[in-house]
Amino acid sequence: MVKIIGAGFGRTGTASMKAALEHLGFGPCYHMFEVIAEPERMQDWVRALDGPVDWDQVLGGYQSTVDWPGCTFWRELMAAYPDAKVLLTTRDPQRWYDSTYGTIYQFVQDPPGDSDDPFTTKLRPTIERLIWNGTFDGRFEDREHAIEVFERHNAEVRAAVPADRLLEYQPGQGWEPLCEFLEVPVPAEDFPHVNDSASIRDLAEQVQNEGKFPSPFSNA
């Protein structure tokens, strides 16, 4: 049963948040890395783009979501899981755009592997449809437009989610606001920091090759 719905776009600290939520006991957490590890999962999101789906089938076994593709369907997930809390990860819009353009946008334009690689054949077309041609109307390279979409999305989440059900979180805030929101103790370990701009390609290729997200916590 999904307990936490991540409504924030990618490149807002979502990989670190995935690691944090799983360490706090709200795992597994569904992130874009799930479909990189298991490309056949992308068919669930193709169906979601085409019409209603059974979210228990798509997210069965997961207690939380962050990043794309889940953040595209935050309204549908709120309706499907009315008791779930909503987590809006965000950051400075200008820095968000620079990070997104220089990492995941370039990664999709120049994916790893060859023309028969699962990322290229199964994931890339749907990512293009879902994010770059969907969320950003095929205009992500238009900086002003992309930032306007980012800010409008965040404003819509703030307006739609009751205050007691929503946490807006920015990278660097640490454990305290998250743990208070989730009503769990603050861990002794430092808050995780994974997937910075320099490492995204290596991390994505590691997930693809190993079939799982490498937790920064040795006990996870």
Whether pLDDT at 202 is above 80? no
Q: Which helix (H) or strand (E) holds 142?
A: none
**Does residue 177 have a cis bond before it (omega within 30 degrees)?**
no
Q: Is the pLDDT of residue 13 over 90?
A: yes
Q: What is the pLDDT of residues 161-180, one digit of tens each?
A: 999 999 999 999 999 999 99
Task: Write the CA distances from 27 to 2, 52, 148, integer angstroms.
Answer: 9, 25, 32
pLDDT at 24 over 70: yes
What Cα–Cα distance (Å) separates residue 197 from each residue in 74, 98, 202?
25, 10, 10
d(CA 51, CA 3) in angstroms, rounded, equals 23
pLDDT higher than 60, residue 105: yes
Q: How far apart are CA 31 and CA 71, in angstroms?
A: 9
pTM over 0.95: no
What φ, ψ does residue 51 adopt, rounded to 5°?
165, -175
Instruction: Return d(Cα 63, Cα 203) in angstroms, integer.
Output: 23
The better pLDDT of the pair 96, 107 is held by 96
CA-to-CA dists, residue 203 to 33, 181, 198, angstroms: 9, 29, 10
Q: pLDDT at residue 150 above 80? A: yes
First to last CA, the chain: 20
Asked if residue 24 lies in contact with residue 182, where contact means CB atoms within 8 angstroms, the answer is yes
Q: Judge whether residue 75 has pLDDT over 90.
A: yes
Can you tell me the distance from the alpha carbon of 37 to that of 54, in angstroms, rounded to the nearest whole number? Answer: 22
Q: Is the pLDDT of residue 54 over 70?
A: yes
Region 16-45: mean pLDDT is 93
Identify the band that residue 206 occupies on the pLDDT scale cut at 50, 70 and 90: low
SS3 call for 27: coil
